[in-house]
Amino acid sequence: MSREQKAVERARKAFFTGRSKSLEYRISQLKNLQRFMQERQKEIAEALKKDLKRSEFGTSLYETLGVESEINLALKKLKEWAAPRPVNKSLMTISDQVYIQPEPLGVVLIIGAWNYPWAVTVGPLVGAIAAGNAAVIKPSEVSAHTSKVMEEFLPLYLDKELYPVVTGGVKETQELLKQRFDHIFYTGNGMVGKIIMEAAAKHLTPTTLELGGKSPCYIDKDCDLTIACRRIAWGKYSNCGQTCIAPDYILCDPSIQDRVIEEIKKNIKEFYTENPQKCPDYGRIINQRHFKRLMSLMEGSSIAVSGEHNEAECYIAPTVLRDVKPDAKVMQEEIFGPLLPIVTVNSVDEAIKFINQRDKPLALYIFSSDKKLIDRMIAETSSGGLMANDCLMHFSVSSLPFGGVGDSGMGRYHGKHGFDNLSHMRGVLLKQLKMEAVNKMRYPPHTADKLGW
Ligand code: NAD
C-alpha cells in the first residue's frame, strides 16, 4: 500500500470514529491550528522568505493574517453555521419540522499552490475542519520550505489521523488522486484543474477548482488616475505579480495611456526604489522555468517601463508594456509575473466586448468615478469577483464568496461560504405519525368519489 493510500485510509478510519463531527472537537482543532500559527510564526516566515523572498511583514499581510481571521470567524460562528436551518413550509407540511442540516462530507483532499502557499493551503483547511471533515493536505512541492513546515509541525498540533500532510510532486499527487475522496479542493492552474476533474469523475467526487486567468483592469478616462494607478501598481507588483487575482492587463482610452504609464512608473519607484532588485519588499520569480516563460511573453511588445532582469536571481523588474495588441504573446495566457500590458480601447463598449470575448476572469477591476459605468460593467460582464477602484482587497472580506466562474474555476470559500462548500446540505422533513386524514387524497385509488369530482 502506498504512503498516499495509507494516509487516506487512516483519515477515513478516523472520520468514521465520528470525532471530527463534534462541535467541541472542531473548535479544539481550530484553536490548535491558531496556536500552531502563533507559536511557529518564525518558522513560517523563514520558509516563505526562502521560497518566495517574502518579507516578514509580507508574510503577515498576505498569508497569515487572513487565515487567522478566518479561524477567528469560524470559532465565533461555528455553532450558528452548523445549526439546523429552518426553511419555508408548504401547506402539506405546515405542522412538520422542515430544515436544512449541514453535515460533513467525509474526507477532503486539499491541493495547494505555491504562490501564496500558506493562504491557499491552510485557508481551505479552516473550512474543512469547521465543517467537520477529515482532510488530507497536499501542499505544493514548488514552495518546498513552506511545505516542509506544514509536514513537520502540523501533526504536532492537529489530530494527525484526521488531517495528515502528504508532501510530494506530480507523482504523489497523482497517487493521491487515485483514491476516493468526498471532495477535492484544488488551487492551481486550469490545465491541472482538468486532470483533477478527470480523476474526481472516476469516483463522482465533487470538486472546488480555484484557478486563475487573465483578470482585466479597466480605467475610465474620467477617474483620479493618481490614486487609480497607485492601487493598480500595488495589486500588480505585490508578490512579483504572482497573484491569482493580480490585474493581468490594463484596458484604457489611448488618450490616457501616457499618464497611466507615468503614474505607475512613479509608484514603482516609490514602492520599490530606483533599484527594485535590492529592495527587500520586492520578490522574485519562483523558478527558472517561470522566468524563461515570462521573458518570452515580453517578445514583440514595446516596453514603456523597465524590463530589466537577471536570470541567475530570477529577477524581473516591475515592467509596463505599451500599445499591446490583442494578439500579442503576452495577451494569450495568464501572465503571473510583473509585466503589465496596456491595451487601448476607444470606448466602454469596446472594453466590455473585449472582456466578454475572452475566458471569464477570476477578478474584474474597474477604476471610475461614474457609478453608472460601474453598474454597466457589473450588468454586462461576468467574473469570479469584481472590484471597483481598488485591487485584491475583495479577497480579504470573509463575507464575500471567493472563487471563479467558467475557466477561472468553480466552487467558493472564505467564511461561511467555505463551511457551506465543504458541507452537504441535507434536506430534512420530520413528520409525526398523526393527522393521517390530511394524506387521504394522495393514496390510491384516486376515484372521482374520493376526489370529490
Ligand atoms: P503548482 O505548480 O504549485 O501546482 C498546484 C498543485 O498541483 C501542486 O500541489 C502540484 O503538486 C499539483 N500538480 C501539478 N501538476 C500536476 C499534475 N500533472 N497532476 C496532478 N497534480 C499536479 O501551482 P500552479 O498551477 O503553478 O499555480 C499557479 C496557478 O494557480 C495560477 O494560474 C494562479 O492563478 C492559480 N491560483 C489560483 C488561486 C485561487 O485562489 N483561485 C490562488 C493561487 C493560485
Find all residues with CB under 8 Å of 270, minimum gap 6, and list them: none
Q: Is the CB of 175 under 6 A from ligand 1?
A: no
Ligand 1 centroid–CA 112 distance in Å is 7
Q: Catalytic residue positions? A: 210, 244
* Residue 253 pLDDT exceeds 90: yes
Q: Please give the average per-residue pLDDT across 209-214, as a whole number.
A: 98
Residues 114-162 have pLDDT tens digits of 999 999 999 999 999 999 999 999 999 999 999 999 999 999 999 999 9
Q: Is the CB of 215 under 6 A from ligand 1?
A: no
* Residue 387 pLDDT exceeds 90: yes
Residue whose CA is at the smallest distance from ligand 1 atom 40: 210
Question: End-to-end alpha-carbon separation of the chain, Å?
Answer: 68
Number of C-beta neighbours around residue 439 at 10 A: 10
Residue whose CA is at the smallest distance from ligand 1 atom 17: 170
Residues 44-55 have pLDDT tens digits of 999 999 999 888
Give the phi and the psi of residue 3 in degrees, each rounded to 5.
-60, -40
Residues 262-286 have pLDDT tens digits of 999 999 999 999 999 999 999 999 9
Q: Please, which pLDDT band fits residue 307 given cuts at 50, 70 and 90?
A: confident
Chain centroid offset of residue 59 CA? 17
Q: Is the CB of 115 under 6 A from ligand 1?
A: yes
Q: Please give the average per-residue pLDDT across 426-443, as a whole number.
A: 92
Specify the pLDDT at position 53. 87
Q: Return the residue matching grid coordinates 510564526.
A: 41
Nearest to 173 by CA among 409, 47, 7, 51: 7
Ligand 1 centroid–CA 189 distance in Å is 5
* Residue 439 pLDDT exceeds 90: no
Residue whose CA is at the smallest distance from ligand 1 atom 19: 170
Residues 18-77 have pLDDT tens digits of 999 999 999 999 999 999 999 999 999 999 999 998 888 888 899 999 999 999 999 999
- Taking the CA of residue 404 as reference, the ligand 1 atom at the shortest distance is 41
Specify the pLDDT at position 91. 87
Per-residue cell: 8: 487516506
- In this prediction the ipTM stands at 0.97
Ligand 1 centroid–CA 332 distance in Å is 19
- Measured CA to CA, the distance from residue 126 to residue 131 in angstroms comes to 9
Q: Please give the average per-residue pLDDT across 371-400, as a whole number.
A: 97
Contact 361, 343 (CB under 8 A): no
Specify the pLDDT at position 444. 94
Residues 321-342 have pLDDT tens digits of 999 999 999 999 999 999 999 9
Residue 73: exposure state from Cβ atoms within 10 A (0-12, 13-18, ≥19): buried
- Measured CA to CA, the distance from residue 389 to residue 107 in angstroms comes to 40
Q: Please, which pLDDT band fits residue 250 given cuts at 50, 70 and 90?
A: very high
Specify the pLDDT at position 186. 98
Q: Is the CB of 192 under 6 A from ligand 1?
A: yes
- Taking the CA of residue 402 as reference, the ligand 1 atom at the shortest distance is 40
Q: Return the residue matching grid coordinates 475583495.
A: 394
Q: Is the CB of 348 under 6 A from ligand 1?
A: no
Specify the pLDDT at position 403. 98
What share of the chain in percent tops pLDDT 90?
A: 92
Specify the pLDDT at position 322. 98
Per-residue cell: 386: 469584481
Q: Please, which pLDDT band fits residue 448 given cuts at 50, 70 and 90?
A: confident
- Measured CA to CA, the distance from residue 239 to residue 62 in angstroms comes to 9
* Residue 453 pLDDT exceeds 90: no
Mean pLDDT of the chain: 96
